[in-house]
Amino acid sequence: MSDESSKPGTTHFGFRDVPTGDKQKLVGEVFSSVAGNYDLMNDLMSLGIHRVWKRYFVATAQVRTGDRVLDLAGGTGDIAALLRERVGDSGELVLGDINASMLRVGRDRMTDRGQVRGFGYVQCNAETLPFPDNSFDLVTIAFGLRNVTDKDAALREMLRVLKVGGQARVLEFSEVKADWFRPIYDFHSFKVLPRLGKLFARDADSYQYLAESIRKHPPQDALKAMMEAAGFARCRYRNLNGGIVAIHDGYKA
């Protein structure tokens, strides 16, 4: 189920309906809270498999040495660090994130790794990107689209800033396909995860929201249709681990 099914003037914040204008602030509070424990959050949510997903996401992207890449919701820099190897010293990576705390964590991590050349950091809203048309060879967003209030606007913006022939890639938690696994997955998401969040990060509410936000995100075929409606060509998706996550691709014709 996606945000579009909410009542007029409202959107989903987890399982709650909230005024559309409030979601950005509420999501911002969640990610400001978890920024310092972001790796822990992803490990708890995915049992550590997120690192494999991210490597596969980058390894199969359409990107070459010297390309210019925008990584949205990329504040902590996990995807950008992997993309660095693909674009080389002649390429350029721009990390865009709406949350200043997340962006600060990413910048500090890159500095600690000695990765400072070829990186740019921009605090921006995915719904209104501050870049000219046809600016990037690749636009990625990993585990961030479900937190965007107006996903359709974000997809249109991703298309706008892509160069002709460029690729957009979305890595996101999606709809589990195996009926037998859904009860196990739900138990982990709604019973185990918030308790782990409380135990390790002293923040059960943020982890509860993150689990709920996955269930409200458009499932695979719905997101593919949204990308097509935004104007992307050759849209497709690939499920990983039975649909726990999916990678969606689209191209600018």
- Count CB neighbours of 216 within 10 A: 18
Q: What is the per-residue pLDDT across 49-70, written as a single tens digit (0 to 9) for each? A: 998 999 999 999 999 999 999 9
Q: What is the per-residue pLDDT across 156-171, written as a single tens digit (0 to 9) for each? A: 999 999 999 999 999 9
Instruction: State how far the Cα of 141 lies from the Cα of 248, in Å rounded to an integer.
Output: 10
Model-level pTM?
0.87
Contact 246, 238 (CB under 8 A): yes
Instruction: State how far the Cα of 117 lies from the Cα of 80, in Å rounded to an integer.
Output: 12
Instruction: State how far the Cα of 22 lies from the Cα of 146, in Å rounded to an integer.
Output: 15
Which of 41-55, 60-74, 93-107 bottoms out in mean pLDDT, i.e. has the lowest?
A: 41-55
Report whether pLDDT(107) > 50.
Answer: yes
Q: Which CATH architecture has domain 10-177+208-252?
A: 3-Layer(aba) Sandwich (3.40)
Determine if residue 37 is labeled as part of a ligand binding site: no
| pLDDT of amino acid 253 | 96
Determine if residue 111 is labeled as part of a ligand binding site: no
Determine if residue 126 is labeled as part of a ligand binding site: yes
DSSP 160-197: HHEEEEEEEEEEEE-----TTTHHHHHHIIIIIHHHHH
Q: What is the per-residue pLDDT across 168-204, written as a single tens digit (0 to 9) for each? A: 999 999 999 999 999 998 888 888 877 877 777 677 7
